[in-house]
Structure 1
Amino acid sequence: MKKLDQTQTPLFDALMEYVNNNTIPFHVPGHKKGVGMAKKFLDFVGKNVLSMDVTVFQQVDSLHKPTGPIKYAQELAAQAFGADATFFSIHGTSGAIQAMILSVMGENEKIIVPRNIHKSVTSGIILSGAIPVYMQPEIDKNIGVALNVTPETVERTLREHPDAKAVLIINPTYYGVSTDMAKIAEIVHEYGAILMVDEAHGPHLKFNEKLPISAMEAGADICAQSTHKIIGSMTQSSMLHVKGDRIDINRVKQVMSLLQTTSPSYILLASLDVARMQMATEGRELLDKTIELAEYARREINNIKGLYCFGEEIVGRDGAYDFDPTKVTITAKGLGISGHQLEKILAERYYIQPELSDMYNVLCVFSIGDTKEKVDYLLRALREISDELYDENIEIAKPIDIPEIPEQVVSPRYAFGCSTVSLPLRESIGQISAEFLMAYPPGIPVLCPGERITLEIIEYVNKMKEANLSIQGTEDPEVNYIKIVNDRQVLNVIA
């Protein structure tokens, strides 16, 4: 394929032509270029963005059967990101990940995944009927977060499950830790399996050599990216990239069409088009500035008493082959407070909102939209908090060890869809869970649908509750009850 002109933005241009021609809309949406929009919303948003909120017609193309500007915009993206084909997703990376899994996996086929997968991966597994085989990522107990899986872990798991159809890897993790993607790609393909990558937090990797290698460059077959993270598209807009050697691109196209709305937001689609252009033409320079700002923040934070911000020193440990410096993880345990407490102080006192917090840490995601002025304000806030709270005699809480991965009795799909009953946690030991139990930190599910509930898991959950940490996954928001499989046929077989 010839080299395309990455300065072009075909979809955005088509929308601008529609707007500039003062086209009269007798089509949905009903607000008709903002004229029918509620005044307080219109006054804030303005008419510009609403004037390009259109529906499917020839001039702006169809996401489900692109032949014009959307088709060309996706071709430009594929070339920019190093793929054979790229699909725009307006239902986020969660939807793109589900499509990725459904495009490859079928009923009862094995997929090898890290235990710290995003819930969208498990959703894809449930929808496809695939059988997960879990790998435990390495964990850094000092900062209380999961790192990544090693190539050795991947190879050992494939050796134990040579019939696995695919392996899914996270690159990088939420906290910016990457594994040796090129080595893993080589191992996975040697076993005849397909390599999928959840690259939600790495849409920028391709555009600066100071960053870890991107999935497509490393040899992945298919990967989903959150284009709205780090680089400049709008929330809920993402991309799915495919290499055609081992993946049926037409199958991916069908699955994406199956899952996505027939009324896509052209505002989101246009933001993907323009974000790709910006990265392809200015990405290196913009990311140089982002990395420089993040490293400046990291150095300054490490000079504040009671705080720690890990960086390149983590590289070389098991599960940490490389590191994305745009992820700034502030460890607060030296101040005698949790990450949740630090987030609360930053948000309520300083109106600074981090990306997330956990037992020890607050994560700040740096991007092309950050400025030194805003970073200096964050640093000033952190210094004030340290001056107020730091005490060299503070006793630091010890991390709680994660239970072993429990026995998988039935598939996640079966457990999710079968008859269930809700039991108090303390009475559920030995039963088969129909729900998740996920604890933060480090964001690894301790229990997935279809797995046996153990005393160790219940004790772990109770310890996490006592530490006022976040436990999620059950229908019961207080996590006092859990749904279990109540299918007599299954229970009689496994009794």
Structure 2
Amino acid sequence: MERSLQKRAPIYEALERFRRNRVVPFDVPGHKHGRGNPELVELLGERCVSIDVNSMKPLDNLCHPVSVIKEAEELAADAFGAEHAFLMVGGTTSAVQTMILSCCKKGDKIILPRNVHRSAINAMVLCGAKPIYVNPDVDQRLGISLGMKRADVERAIEENPDAVAVFVNNPTYYGVCSDLRAIVKMAHEKGMKVLADEAHGTHFYFGNNLPVSAMAAGADIASVSMHKSGGSLTQSSFLLTGKGMHPGYIRQIINLTQTTSGSYLLLSSLDISRRNLALRGEESFKMVTELAEYARKEINQIGDYYAFGREMVNGDSIFDFDPTKLSIHTLDIGLAGIEVYDILRDEYDIQIEFGDLGNILAYLSIGDRKREVERLVTALADLKRRYKKDKTGMLTQEYIAPKVVMTPQDSFYAEKESLPLKETKGRICSEFVMCYPPGIPVLAPGEEITDEIIDYIVYAKEKGCSMTGPEDERIERLNVLTGR
């Protein structure tokens, strides 16, 4: 497809035609271009609510695209180097679940790192797949999980030749990439599909000197969070497929769980953002990379912080590193990442993407400028001066290898009882526990609860992590299997 065609945005263009026609709405949504909800118009603006419309022939239908949405998908596939692209309005959660549901049936094995987003384990709850976890490598100093070692993936494939797929984070939340090309080669030689969670890798498709994208590496399916580094509205994503995947079947899987009332605000934002990156992405992400490198240099000069980058690359479990990711280790100032996160927001009006027990992540993308980065650097220097303390007794380990006893589905739907957290040691959990963000479970259904996990949960709560997942909103009790 010619580059000139990437200047088109068919969904956006169709909405503009619709708006000019001043159509009288006797369909949903019930706010009728905002007339029935003036406060909504005041919040979002008349132009926005006027294009919050339902599927109709001139605007196509997300469940079965035949015109403008189909054109938008074809343009996206071309821009991302994929065989097919699907516009997703249920976030990358929906895209990840589609990847797994399209490859796995009940009892099928899937090889994956344990530091996956909860959406991957949710998909196994739905379809009954059996996880074969590869424990990611761990950086002991930083307390973060890394990528999968090639030898560990190879061993998992050899020991589970009946597995149907290998799932890879590309990259992890911290910007760490496994050797995706090597994993694709190993998996394909054994007839397994490769599924890539690229929630944090949209820019890999449009920048230079960035890690390899899933489609370029030959993966079969990839989930891409366009709303993260790509600039579209929150909850909008792409699902990409490579050669040999049946798009009609993938669409059927998407339609099992995705809404039949796709938001045209989300769809048009995907369309416009794809056009923006196709035309200007290379230049934009070069600027983002330079901004992140500048920030790393300035933050490391403060002392006691460690903004890590490509010096971490080891050719295996850190095969490559995303240089746009600004992750900062905070333990040497005696504060957990989540504590720095809270202070930056409460004292300096700076909202960081997330903080864990030892690190913070400042998410840089196409909307950032040098002045905001300088404000962050200044705030971190002042924060160190005001709050630095002895780091003795601080917990550093971020990844705890799970003891998997049952499949996520069997344990999630089993008979269960609620116990106080401190009394759950040795029992089998039937729900999730995680800090959000990033939404990587500390505990997932089917895993044994250990002293180490209990200590982690208590410590993370004390430090102020946003713990989510359990039925008990205070996370003082956990659901465990009855009699197990």
TMscore range, shorter length: over 0.9
> Is the Cα–Cα contact under 8 Å of residues 357 and 398 in structure 2 kept in the other structure?
no
How many residue pairs get matched?
484
- 1:136 Cα deviation (Å)? 0.5
Summarize deviations over 1:196-230 as a string: whole Å, max 9, x none: 01111111101112211101110100011110011
Q: What residue is the counterpart of 2:57 in the other structure?
A: 58
The question of 1:27 aligning with 2:24 is answered no
Contact 1:4 1:79 in 2 (8 A): no
For the 8 Å contact 2:117–2:438, the answer to whether it is kept is: no
CA contact (8 A) 2:325 2:363 kept: yes
The answer (yes or no) to whether the contact 2:331–2:391 under 8 Å persists in 1 is no
> In the alignment, what sits opposite 1:164?
163
**Counterpart for residue 36 of structure 1:** 36
The answer on whether the counterparts of 2:29 and 2:52 sit within 8 Å (CA) in structure 1 is: yes
Tell me the residue number matched to 1:13: 13
Task: State yes or no: 1:397 paired with 2:399.
Answer: no
What residue ranges of structure 1 are gaps of 5+ in the alignment? none
Query: Counterparts of 1:478 and 1:339 in 2: how far apart (Å)?
Result: 22
The Cα shift of 1:374 comes to 1.3
Equivalence map 1:257-272=2 (5 Å)? 257-272=255-270
2:144 is matched with which residue? 145
| 2:106 corresponds to | 107
Deviations 1:368-415 (A, max 9, x none): 000112111112212222232347x7647352485543142x321111
- The residue identity in structure 1 corresponding to 2:121 is T
**C-alpha displacement of 1:459:** 5.0
> What is the SS of the residue equivalent to 2:131?
strand
- Superposed, 1:88-237 pairs within 5 Å as 88-237=87-236
Q: Decide whether the 8 Å contact of 2:144 with 2:398 is kept in 1.
A: no
Retained in 1: the 8 A contact 2:135–2:401?
Answer: no
State how far apart, in whole Å, the 1-side matches of 2:301 and 2:164 are: 48
More deviation, 188-197/330-339 = 330-339
Is the deviation greater in 268-277 or in 324-333? 324-333
* Cα deviation 1:314-335 (Å, max 9, x = unaligned): 1116411111111101222222
Give the Cα separation in 2 of the matches to 1:440 and 1:54.
32
CA distance in 2, matches of 1:470, 1:54: 35
Match of 1:243 in 2: 242
**For the residues of structure 1 that align with 2:153 and 2:131, how far apart are their CA atoms?**
14
Deviation by residue 1:31-78 (Cα, 9 ceiling, x = unmatched): 222222233x32232111111111111111110111110000001101
* One-letter amino acid of the counterpart of residue 20, structure 1: R
- Is the contact between residue 328 and residue 359 of structure 2 (CA under 8 Å) also seen in structure 1? yes
Distance (Å, rounded) in 1 between the aligned partners of 2:53 and 2:439: 39
Contact 1:305 1:390 (C-alpha < 8 Å) held by counterparts: no
Residues 309-324 of structure 1: pairs in structure 2 closer than 5 A: 309-316=307-314, 318-324=316-322
- Partner SS for 2:6: coil
CA 230–73 in structure 1, closer or farther in 2 if over 3 Å, else same: same
For the aligned residues, what is the CA RMSD? 2.2
Unaligned residue ranges in structure 2 (runs of 5+): none
Give the aligned partner of residue 444 of structure 2: 448
SS of the residue 1:6 aligns to: helix
Separation in 2, partners of 1:359, 1:430: 24
Q: CA offsets, 1:346-381, max 9 Å, x none?
A: 101111100000111111010000011211111221
- 3-state SS of 1:48 partner: helix
Contact 2:461 2:467 in 1 (8 A): yes
- Does 1:406 find its partner at 2:419? no
Query: Which residue of the partner structure matches residue 475 of structure 1?
Result: 471
1:276-315 maps to which residues of 2 (within 5 A)?
276-315=274-313
Give the aligned partner of residue 363 of structure 2: 365
Determine if contact 2:339/2:464 at 8 Å carries over to the other structure. Answer: no
| Aligned match of 1:68 | 67
Over the matched positions of the two proteins, sequence identity in percent amounts to: 42
Q: Structure 1 CA distance, aligned partners of 2:408 and 2:331?
A: 36
AA in 2 matched with 1:116: N
Quick one: distance in 1 between partners of 2:305 and 2:451?
35
The alignment partner of 2:239 has SS state of strand
CA distance in 2, matches of 1:163, 1:22: 57
The question of whether the paired residues in 2 share the 8 Å contact of 1:138 and 1:318 is answered with no
Structure 1 pair 325–171 and aligned structure 2 pair: CA distance change class (3 A) = same
CA distance 1:53–1:468, shift in 2 (3 Å): closer
Alignment partner of 1:241: what SS? strand
Q: Does residue 332 of structure 2 align to residue 334 of structure 1?
A: yes
CA distance in 2, matches of 1:62, 1:81: 22
Cα deviation for residue 477 of structure 1 reads: 3.3
**Shift in alpha-carbon separation, 1:402–1:324, aligned structure 2, 3 A:** closer
Once the two structures are TM-superposed, the CA of residue 451 in structure 1 deviates from its matched residue by 2.7
Give the 3-state SS of the residue equivalent to 1:298 in structure 2: helix
